[in-house]
Chain A
Amino acid sequence: QVQLQESGPGLQKPSETLSLTCTVSGGSISRYYWNWVRQTPGKGLEWIGYIFSSGNTNYNLSLKSRITISIDTSKNQFSLRLTSLTAADTALYFCARGLPGGEDAFDIWGQGTMVTVSS
């Protein structure tokens, strides 16, 4: 069955750029919406944005100036880039697949990767 696995550095310094990758295994990355979501004790679950397999993106406006989501269909991977990190970006980051059919609920999630922003 389809599985998602996030990877990336766990510790970053303020003002640095975060790069996370989600690897899709057991299925194709094509014809789905692929999302990034983060979770903090204070703000709960926050949707960051998605990319469709064609490359179309939709970002949360609260983060739009700092995020880029990209996709590499040849590697079955999609990635998140978040610039100008602050302590407020400390969170558990998940990648998740949207149900087939369009912008939809998230049926498959990765296990999450913890990112800490600290000097």
Chain B
Amino acid sequence: EIVLTQSPGTLSLSPGERVTLSCRASQSVSRSYLAWYQQKPGQAPRLLIYNTSTRATGIPDRFSGSGSGTDFTLTISRLEPEDFAVYYCQQYDNSPFTFGQGAKLEIK
């Protein structure tokens, strides 16, 4: 099973700032089948990025993804108030599909 480790666990930031979230895999995600989700309290996860760097439908371009192998990142270029949430990475390269433990963005 591929274990995904996200860092940092919690970030306190202000609107307008740039943030980069990290997701490290225990073994190579060889086909770059890595996704990022955003989850707000009481809601289901929302797909932001798939295949490492492709934005899902309707996702603003301030969200971008990159990486390969075992190291992946999600960058939000300029935080909006609605971006404060929990972010999860997920690999669907190998079964079982696995998620990171989450990274929480909170307002400073």
Q: Which A residues lie at the B interface, using CB under 8 A?
A: 44-47, 58, 60-62, 94, 96, 99, 103-107, 109-112
Closest chain-B Cβ to A20's Cβ sits at a distance in Å of 15
* B100 (CB) vs chain A CBs: closest residue: A44
Interface pairs (19), CB distance under 8 Å? A44-B99, A44-B101, A45-B88, A47-B96, A47-B97, A47-B99, A58-B95, A61-B96, A62-B96, A96-B44, A103-B97, A104-B92, A105-B90, A106-B90, A107-B56, A107-B57, A109-B46, A111-B43, A111-B44
Our count of residue pairs bridging A and B at CB distance below 8 angstroms stands at 55
Is B35 located at the chain interface by the 8 A CB criterion?
A: yes
* A94 (CB) vs chain B CBs: closest residue: B44
Known: A105-B47, A105-B50, A111-B44. A46 touches B99 (CB 8 A): yes
Contact present for B56 and A44 (CB under 8 Å): no
Q: How far is the CA of A86 from the CA of B52 in the complex (A)?
A: 36
* A98 (CB) vs chain B CBs: closest residue: B92
Contact present for A104 and B50 (CB under 8 Å): yes
Identify the 5 closest CB pairs spanning chains A and B, nearest first. Answer: A109-B44, A105-B35, A105-B50, A45-B99, A60-B96
CB under 8 Å from chain A, chain B span 15-31: none
Closest chain-A Cβ to B73's Cβ sits at a distance in Å of 17
Contacts of A62 in B (CB 8 A): 96
Q: How far is the CA of A104 from the CA of B35 in the complex (A)?
A: 9
* A63 (CB) vs chain B CBs: closest residue: B96
Q: Which B residues lie at the A interface, using CB under 8 A?
A: 33, 35, 37, 43-47, 50-51, 56-57, 88, 90, 92, 95-102
Contacts of B50 in A (CB 8 A): 99, 104-105, 107
Contacts of A110 in B (CB 8 A): 44
Closest chain-B Cβ to A101's Cβ sits at a distance in Å of 10
Contact present for A109 and B97 (CB under 8 Å): no
Closest chain-A Cβ to B92's Cβ sits at a distance in Å of 6
Contacts of B90 in A (CB 8 A): 45, 105-106
Contacts of A112 in B (CB 8 A): 44
Contacts of B98 in A (CB 8 A): 47
Q: How far is the CA of A46 from the CA of B102 in the complex (A)?
A: 12
